[in-house]
Amino acid sequence: MTTAVCQTTPLEWWRHLETFNISHQVGFLLENPLDHLPGYFLPWEKLGKNAAQLMASRKLRSEVYKLPLLDFHLLNGQEEYCLAHTLLATIAHCFVWQDNDIPKILPKAVAIPWFHISQYLGLNPVYCYLDCVLAMGRKVDPNSNLEVICPAPGSPHTDWFSLVLIQVELDFAKGIQDIVDIYDSMDSEDERRLILGLKGIENTVRRMQQTTTRMYERLDPAVFYNVLRPFYEGWGAHSKLLPEGLIFEGISDTPLQFVGGSAAQSSTIQVLDAVLGVEHSEDADRYLKQIREYMPAGHREFLYTVETGPSLKTYVQQSQHDGVKTAYNQCLKALVDFRTSHLLVAVDYVLKPSQNKEERQHHSAQGTGGTNFVSFLKSTRGRTVRSVLQLDGDTPVVNKELNINT
């Protein structure tokens, strides 16, 4: 299901976020993710929720061959489509990556409905951020503790990856009102309120950074690298194991190629870049635009709408109020710090395990889309540093070289 690009003023889009399937409470997360589908879809639900376990005992593939072809038209509404996508994505990835004897054809009982469900959501038929984060968290008690709805391989240890990211999304959601206030105050030229909005954004980014570093609390880098990452992998030119892609039986005789799941598919950081006017290098920008194809359609359209709306950066540059420029710079510095922490997390969870001799032969240290991820992440960080405005009397912000042994 796609939404029309909003033709109204920026304040209208921020006030009507639901047009883009965004919630004022939970941001890009699905507000009420379902735990169950109607009874007719029980075969998907049973297999999807047990896929990781069956994969571990190498019994999943034979179960997939027994799966009936169900009619996806009987799904009703966004929530059911999202859960169906996650169940089928989990089944498909466990099917493909169960062992070293990798199949080249995805059976039609999975391929046909998954392809059409993906089209409805404006997504690609591959395990993506919606599956591991946006539609994955179920409240289990009144304190809002969360549990994953459809476990991935390595669960319960690997659940932490999804749970941390869900919290990052919630951290972002708390800052949505500040962004609305920023556009509101630009409109009314209320610079005092603009500064408050910018301070709110700075705090939001700092919260997101702190949450990101909580990954270390319960996720072992070796488990992430050896169990979760191979499961997330897509198929196509970037994949060493399935470079020609995957045939979707009943859909296409030509193999389809898609990159796999990555937190880079979170819209949060791309929205912050768009609001703050951070411009990336041509190569990085190409990848960041490409991964929008792996975001739900409404979120992709929202990014486009923010990017093509009025520029906060131009407003700040023209402002006579130093406090506005300082507050804007503080947001960028917080985003630089987020990107520094994130780069270090990525090094610990991908680069270092890949340098371990035993693990090196099996998996690669490339990013999800085959990128050299260290130079890519250094570049997005470097461009954020470059966006900081030089103010009279301020010491220039230097792009300190991070010492990473690649």
**Interface positions with ligand HEM (CB under 6 A):** 164-165, 168, 212, 215, 224, 262-264, 266, 268-269, 339, 342, 345-346, 349-350, 367-369, 371, 373, 376-377, 380
Assess contact for 171 and 207: CB atoms under 8 A. Answer: yes
CA distance 155 to 161: 10
Nearer to ligand HEM, 29 or 168 (CB): 168
Cα distance between residue 129 and residue 385, in whole Å: 27
Task: Single out the residue of 194, 189, 192, 184 nearest to residue 328, CA to CA.
Answer: 194
151 preceded by cis ω (within 30°)? no
Q: Whose Cβ is closer to ligand HEM: residue 224's or residue 235's?
A: 224
342 appears as a binding residue in the annotation: yes
Least separation in angstroms between residue 191's CB and ligand HEM is 29
| Choice between 299 and 339, CB closer to ligand HEM | 339
Measured distance CA(264)–CA(109) in Å, rounded:
30
Minimum CB separation from ligand HEM for residue 125, in Å? 18
The rounded distance, in Å, linking the Cα atoms of 65 and 32 is 32
User: CB of residue 336 vs ligand HEM: minimum separation in angstroms?
Assistant: 10
CB of 263 to ligand HEM, least distance (A): 3
Distance CA 159, CA 88 (A): 18
Residue position matching structure tokens 């996508």? 85
Query: Where do the DSSP E strands lie in 251-358?
Result: 252-256
Name which of 48 and 260 has its Cβ closer to ligand HEM: 260
Residue 340: alpha-carbon gap to chain centroid = 18
**Which residue lies nearer to ligand HEM by CB, 28 or 248?**
28
Listed in sequence order, the residues at least 6 apart from 210 whose beta carbon sits closer than 8 Å to its beta carbon are: none
- Closest separation in Å from C-beta 365 to ligand HEM: 9
Token match 């556009």: residue? 183
Instruction: Using CB positions, name the residue nearest to ligand HEM.
Output: 367
Give least dist CB 158 to ligand HEM, A. Answer: 10
Smallest gap from Cβ 146 to ligand HEM, in A, equals: 15
> 19 or 368, CB closer to ligand HEM?
368
Half-sphere exposure of residue 207, counting CA atoms within 13 Å on the CB side? Answer: 18
CB of 377 to ligand HEM, least distance (A): 6
Specify which residues 235 forms β-bridges with: 258
CB of 259 to ligand HEM, least distance (A): 7
Between 193 and 313, name the residue whose CB sits nearer to ligand HEM: 313
Give whichever of 107 and 296 is closer to ligand HEM, judged by the CB atom: 296
Burial level of 380, CB count in 10 A (0-12/13-18/19+)? buried
Contact 146, 179 (CB under 8 A): no
Instruction: For ligand HEM, give the closer residue by CB, 199 or 352.
Output: 352
Sheet hosting strand 246-248, strand order edge to edge: 105-106, 246-248, 252-256
Query: Helix or strand or coil: residue 247?
Result: strand
Length of the chain: 406
Q: Is 399 exposed, middle or buried (0-12, 13-18, 19+ CB in 10 A)?
A: middle
Backbone angles phi and psi of 140, in degrees to 5 = -110, -10
> Which residues fall in the annotated binding site?
342
> Which residues fall in the annotated binding site for heme b?
342
